Structure 1
Amino acid sequence: MTSTRTGRWVRLDGTTNTRDLGGLPTSDGGRTAAGRILRSDNLQTLSGDDVERLVRGVGLRQVIDLRTTAEILLEGRGPLRRVPDVEHRHFSLLPERGHHTDVFAVEEDDVALDLPAGWAESLLPRQVAEHDEGEHPAVRSYLGYLGHRADNVVGALRALTRAPGASVVHCAAGKDRTGVVCALSLAVAGVPHEEIVADYAMTAEIIDALVAKLAASPTYADDMVSRDVASHTPRAETMDRVLTLLDERHGGPIGWLHAHGFGADEQAALRARLRD
């Protein structure tokens, strides 16, 4: 596939769910800026042309990886790891059964020795929040990220404020963990609730290709083939409900961020990254 930009989609040979957070309307009549923050599925299978376009064309200088340590070790080093100008930061949104102070310093040859015990139980985004038993499972998962890994949610946003060039936020599919971090980023930029929901739901447009891509990886194949495509498809109601609960419980995403140490100065820095 030739790499082309169609609207906000960034069409690459090695990814299925890459798009730019630029071009979204804001509540004050503006729009988010293109080429600042991208969201994506796993970057392991980028082609040489993809890397060239991202680094030289988009100006990519930072990768925010939301996968678990186990996922990173099992998938191995992606092609962007060979680019010295691109910084990689790791912020898992799931509980870790083991600990690496610098997961990107661990070589693939050490996988058999370094995989945390019980890694398979926490490989995919099934973490759920307590006290929300009545909510949809996906909503509970997203609340679980915010409840159990608030430190890494904030850490990812903090890293985005400090990037010298364009950043890409990704997990495996680029819809759940990436969706939550990007939703908070867009809220800080002043993108209204309904537009954040619409951005989240865009992944449904390419879900068949995304599931097929993940099914080709031994890391994710079992989960992909054990459930139908519909169960993997993001629903607008999921993100709508998460944002509504943040409104009710914290005064919105901004209130949640304030409560977890991401204050006005850092919010202003992230807003500046996403706005002209």
Structure 2
Amino acid sequence: MRWLEFDSLVNARDVGGTPTVDGDIIRPGRLLRSDNLQGLTRADIDRLLELRVSDVIDLRSTFEVHHEGPGPLVGHPRVRIHHFSFIPEQYDRDEVNDTADVLPDGRTEAADIRRDKRGNELPGRALPFSGYQPSIRVQDKFASTYLSFLNERPESVLAALRAIAYAPGAALVHCAAGKDRTGTAVALSLVLAGAEPGAVVEDYAASSERMQLIVDRLIVSETYRENLSGRPLESHMTRPETMRAFLEYAESEHGGVERMLLRMGWTEADTAAMRVKLRG
């Protein structure tokens, strides 16, 4: 794993170099991860193109995408943007991902919508994890949330993994902070490719090194400010025990990550594609 430096991104890294269980490594330049791409500079975009990024997998909720606006890479001729929300949202009711349908379940009544003095809707419970109750519970609350992504939005999880596995160039996965939703997708990808579980945990935990920078970046956005203000930095950390709990649940309940995903609709051909993608 190596950190990637950009003008705007503070939690960007290449997972290349991650050791595998059979003594190989994940190849550099295949899978990148980062925080939100919303503030990319011209130099940042050039850097991503130099890294041969062909596919961006955006895991933010529709609410976030709607309120943050289109990113600088949207419409770029050399980059495909894939949006797969890991958070249950109102559009799940009819399985139509409508960008105008930005409110999650449980927040559909007009009285529940908070507005500023100009009548504009304010962010709040619609943000990821704000008042969120996971459908799968283990002792670690963050691991419970990550496991619930798979339980509640399996089609989005599998689609994100396939976008990584079949990307012709480097795949870049991001959400807002680049630690929870991104951490889940990257961990699944690495395990499918045969990465050492301990190394998967280490990559996940690395985001803690940049946590103050991550919070400082997001808190200036009106979309995230209320959710972040007043919270201790410790509450955001990516602890090793969280990813260990996630992987241990997959093993104890399903016989491993691949078997867990196979029950959701993943295929052995998809696994083979992921291994080729990340290991060559």
Instruction: Give TM-score scaled by structure 1 length.
Output: 0.89
Counterpart residue number, 1:130: 135
Q: Distance in 2 between matches of 1:60 and 1:48?
A: 15
Q: Which amino acid aligns with 1:220?
A: Y
Tell me the distance in 2 between the aligned counterparts of 1:191 and 1:47. 33
Quote how far apart the aligned CAs of 1:75 are: 0.7
Partner of 2:83: 90
Against the structure 1 CA distance between its residues 131 and 224, is the aligned structure 2 distance closer, same or farther, given a 3 Å change threshold? Answer: closer
Q: Cα RMSD over matched residues? A: 1.8
Check conservation: 1:63, 1:88, Cα contact below 8 A.
yes
Task: Show the 5 A alignment for 1:216-235.
Answer: 216-235=220-239
1:267 maps to 271
Mapped contact 1:129–1:147 kept (Cα < 8 A): no
Q: Which letter does structure 2 place at the counterpart of 1:208? A: Q
Q: Offset of 1:82 from its aligned partner?
A: 4.1
* Cα distance in 1 for residues equivalent to 2:73 and 2:96: 21
Of 2, 10, 16, which aligns to 1:16? 10
2 CA distance for matches of 1:188 and 1:128?
Answer: 28
Q: Note the alpha carbon deviations across 1:10-69, whole angstroms, 9 max, x for none.
A: 1111111111121100011110011111111100011100100101x1011111011111
Q: Which residue of 2 aligns with 1:116?
A: 103
> What is the CA–CA distance in structure 2 between the aligned matches of 1:114 and 1:153, rounded to whole Å?
20
Q: Which runs of 5+ in 1 are unaligned?
A: 1-6, 107-112
Taking the aligned partners of 2:66 and 2:136, their CA distance within structure 1 comes to 33
Task: Using the TM superposition, give the Cα deviation of residue 80 of structure 1 relative to its aligned residue in structure 2, in angstroms.
Answer: 1.1
Higher deviation after alignment, 73-82 or 237-246 = 73-82
Q: What is the CA distance between 1:131 and its match in structure 2?
A: 5.4
Secondary structure of the corresponding residue to residue 77 of structure 2: coil
Superposed CA deviations along residues 195-225 of structure 1, whole A, max 9, x for unmatched, are 1100000001110111100111111111111
- Contact preservation (8 Å) 1:13, 1:46: yes
CA separation of 1:114 and 1:253: change in aligned 2, threshold 3 A: closer
Structural mapping, 1:80-229, within 5 Å: 80-98=73-91, 115-116=102-103, 118=107, 120-125=124-129, 127-130=132-135, 132=137, 135-229=139-233
Larger helix fraction of residues: 1
Distance 2:124 2:167 in 1: 32
Deviation at 1:139, TM superposition (A): 1.7
* Pair 73,240 (structure 1): closer, same or farther in 2 beyond 3 Å: same
CA distance in 1, matches of 2:127, 2:257: 26
Stretch moving more, 252-261 or 45-54: 252-261
Distance 2:102 2:84 in 1: 17
How has the CA–CA distance of structure 1 residues 68 and 131 changed in structure 2, closer, same or farther, with 3 Å as cutoff?
closer
Deviation at 1:226, TM superposition (A): 3.0
**For this pair of structures, how many residues does the alignment match?**
260
Q: Which runs of 5+ in 2 are unaligned?
A: 108-122
Q: 1:79 aligns to what?
A: 72
In structure 2, give the amino acid aligned to 1:54. Answer: L
Partner-residue secondary structure (3-state), 1:220: helix
The 1:166/1:131 distance shift into structure 2, 3 A limit, reads: closer
TM-score normalised to structure 2 length: 0.88
Shift of 1:85: 1.5
| Aligned residue number for residue 115 of structure 2 | none
State the secondary structure of the residue aligned to 2:27: coil
- Does the C-alpha gap of structure 1 residues 251 and 36 become closer, same or farther in structure 2, counting only changes over 3 Å? same
Task: Work out whether 1:59 is the aligned partner of 2:64.
Answer: no
1:262: how far off? 1.0
Distance in 1 separating the partners of 2:161 and 2:208: 25
2:89 is paired with a residue of what secondary structure?
Answer: coil
Instruction: State how far apart, in whole Å, the 2-side matches of 1:116 and 1:60 are.
Output: 31
